[in-house]
Amino acid sequence: MSDVLLEVKDLHVNFFLTEGIVRAVNGVNFRIERGKTLGVVGESGCGKSVTARAILNMVRPPGRIVSGEVNYYGDPKSPIDLARLDPGGKRIRQIRWGEIAMIFQEPMTSLSPVHTIGNQMIETICLHLHVSKREAAQRAVDLLSRVGLAQPERLLNRYRHELSGGMRQRVMIAMALSCNPKLLIADEPTTAVDVTTQAQILNLMRDLQQEFGMAILFITHALGVIAEMADDVVVMYLGEEVEVADVDTLYYNTGHPYTQALLRSIPRHDTKLSRLEAIEGNVPDPLNMPEGCKFHPRCLHYVPERCIDPALEKISGQHWVRCTRVHEIKPQLLQTEHAE
């Protein structure tokens, strides 16, 4: 237990809308170990961002954490259930940024339009590290240069609208690292940038992780990126985990038809035609969830009498799959993969 930094247990987050209840996160469980990277992957609308916000107890109305635990072992001897803290209270505000930092999916969320980059970074650093303004400014400059931004002193006086998408993303990483977090939550940190910048930012995050020894919760809709970043992976579909495994197992011993579909949608460089297959069908309306297995309307292996309420089942070691037909279809999934 000593190497676990954060443990999410049976987390449920609902949005209470006039049209009905959206069960955005529906009983999710995972652990993040100190210094390791856990990837969370799934299509848009699967509950990744809501999970991330719930960890920091930042779900806003009409959404609410309805049950579950978010146990944070910053001090292994006295874990704290972040879900039980007052969302506006002092303790959670110390933990946000100070111990658990987040790079938000929307770069605009965490960069203020009316303050300079310098003001924001210096204020955050002063608040959490209890250093002088001068020291905070020096740290801000160091970090901005560490994330590969030129002329960091001048950047301190800039506003967010003066920066390109790639620069904003780097500033956000610098800000997230500014207080030496134990856990960095990166919610689709490279979605808004081009592929070259993406590669640079991923390299940078890996280097900084080595240097700072932090754990990363890396959220993405692209399974290809997970391979480069994560040790372990949680695949989410409609607010639930459908597969949990280490990266190699997930790629080479895939258990769930949804994971397989995600794998097929990765663009390939080894074929002349880059085959970018979208997954058949759409993510269903969250107010109108399918009965039984939630993936069944899109699943190539659906058998009505078999595919009823699958539970997350341990199929080996640390490999978990939510599919009642996993033992029958796994050999087929692997065969198709090898035949290509």
Ligand X SMILES: Nc1ncnc2c1ncn2[C@@H]1O[C@H](COP(=O)(O)OP(=O)(O)O)[C@@H](O)[C@H]1O
Q: Kindly list the residues in this chain that would bind ligand X in the complex (CB under 6 A).
A: 15, 17, 22, 24, 42, 44-50, 62-63, 286
Cβ neighbours, 10 Å, residue 205: 25
Q: Which is nearer to ligand X, 61 or 113 (CB)?
A: 61
Cβ atoms 81, 71 nearer than 8 A? yes
CB under 5 to 8 A by kind: which of ligand X, Mg ion, none does 276 bind?
A: none
Which is closer to ligand X, CB of 62 or CB of 76? 62
By a kind-dependent CB cut-off of 5 to 8 A, residue 71 interacts, out of Mg ion, ligand X, none, with none
Determine the 3-state secondary structure of 218 from DSSP. Answer: strand
Q: Is 254 in the site for Mg ion (CB under 5 A)?
A: no
The region of 103-111, 122-130, 134-142, 154-162 touching Mg ion under the rule CB under 5 A is 103-111
| Closest-CA residue to 100 (of 181, 39, 32, 38) | 181
Residue whose token pair is 């979605």: 191
Sheet strands (E) in the chain: 4-17, 20-33, 37-41, 63-72, 80-81, 100-103, 183-187, 215-220, 232-237, 240-246, 313-316, 319-321
Q: Does 120 bind Mg ion (CB under 5 A)?
A: no
Q: How far is CA 183 from the centre of its chain?
A: 12
Question: At its nearest, how many Å lie between ligand X and the CB of residue 192?
Answer: 14
**Interface segment toward Mg ion; rule CB under 5 A; list 40-48, 67-75, 262-270, 297-305:** 40-48
Which does residue 50 touch among ligand X, Mg ion, none (CB within 5 to 8 A, set by kind)?
A: ligand X
Does position 49 interact with Mg ion (CB under 5 A)? The reply is: yes
Q: How many Cβ atoms from other residues are within 10 Å of residue 240's Cβ? A: 20
Stretch that binds Mg ion, among 47-55, 88-96, 289-297, 304-312 (CB under 5 A): 47-55
